[in-house]
């Protein structure tokens, strides 16, 4: 209200780690409750190119060619126990989903997004859309979204317009 925003038209979105955080904020009420913000004020969420399941993300690094990142990129951020990983994972909270979602991936984060998508599909929640963009990578999608004409940004705008109209 301090800035004159319409609180009935709040959308969360983020790219990469921001996508992970946007999904988590829209699914685990504790983060918004801390600031006295109700989850039902969020009209939609747009996570782009996130990882969503920290245990899987950790395992990919630990068992891959860059195993040092398991500690520096995952444990240093989320903690070092399975309980820490679960608490920080949007996949943990899929049963709590209530906010419409446009979930977007590109070829580098497809596997992470697919895990999240599959977990959502195991629930009764159906107010979500998924856009997998296989022909470009993580950085290319970020650059594309910043261009004056971006088909992928148009998907985001259409999602927002549709949710506002409902």
Residues 6+ apart with CB under 8 A from 88: 24, 54, 78, 79
Asked whether the predicted pLDDT for residue 1 surpasses 80, the reply is: no
What's the confidence (pLDDT) of residue 38?
87
Tens of pLDDT, residues 56-71: 999 999 999 889 999 9
pLDDT class of 165 with cuts at 50, 70, 90: confident
Helix (H, G, I), strand (E, B) or coil at 60: helix
Rounded Cα–Cα distance for residues 15 and 109 (Å): 11
What's the confidence (pLDDT) of residue 61?
92
Which candidate, 51, 6, 50, 46, places its Cα nearest to that of 26? 46
Rounded Cα–Cα distance for residues 86 and 120 (Å): 16
Buried/exposed 117-131: b ≥16 CB within 10 Å, e otherwise: bebbeeeebeebeeb
Tens of pLDDT, residues 75-123: 999 999 999 999 999 999 999 999 999 999 999 999 999 999 999 999 9
Rounded Cα–Cα distance for residues 43 and 127 (Å): 11
For CA atoms 106, 110, 112, 114, the dihedral sign is: positive
Tens of pLDDT, residues 6-42: 888 899 999 999 999 999 999 998 888 888 888 888 9
């Amino acid at each position: 209200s301090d800035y004159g925003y319409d609180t009935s038209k709040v959308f969360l979105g983020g790219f990469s780690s921001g996508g992970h955080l946007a999904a988590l904020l829209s699914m685990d009420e504790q983060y918004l409750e801390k600031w006295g913000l109700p989850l039902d004020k969020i009209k939609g969420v747009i996570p782009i190119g996130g990882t969503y399941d920290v245990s899987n993300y950790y395992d990919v690094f630990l068992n891959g060619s860059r195993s040092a990142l398991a500690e520096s990129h995952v444990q240093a951020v989320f903690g070092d126990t399975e309980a820490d990983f679960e608490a920080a994972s949007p996949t943990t909270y899929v049963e709590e989903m209530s906010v419409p979602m446009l979930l977007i991936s590109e070829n580098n984060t497809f596997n992470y997004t697919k895990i999240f998508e599959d977990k959502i599909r195991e629930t009764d929640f159906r107010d979500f859309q998924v856009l997998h963009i296989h022909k470009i990578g993580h950085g290319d999608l970020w650059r594309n979204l910043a261009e004056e004409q971006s088909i992928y940004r148009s998907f985001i705008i259409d999602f927002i317009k549709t949710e506002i109209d409902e």
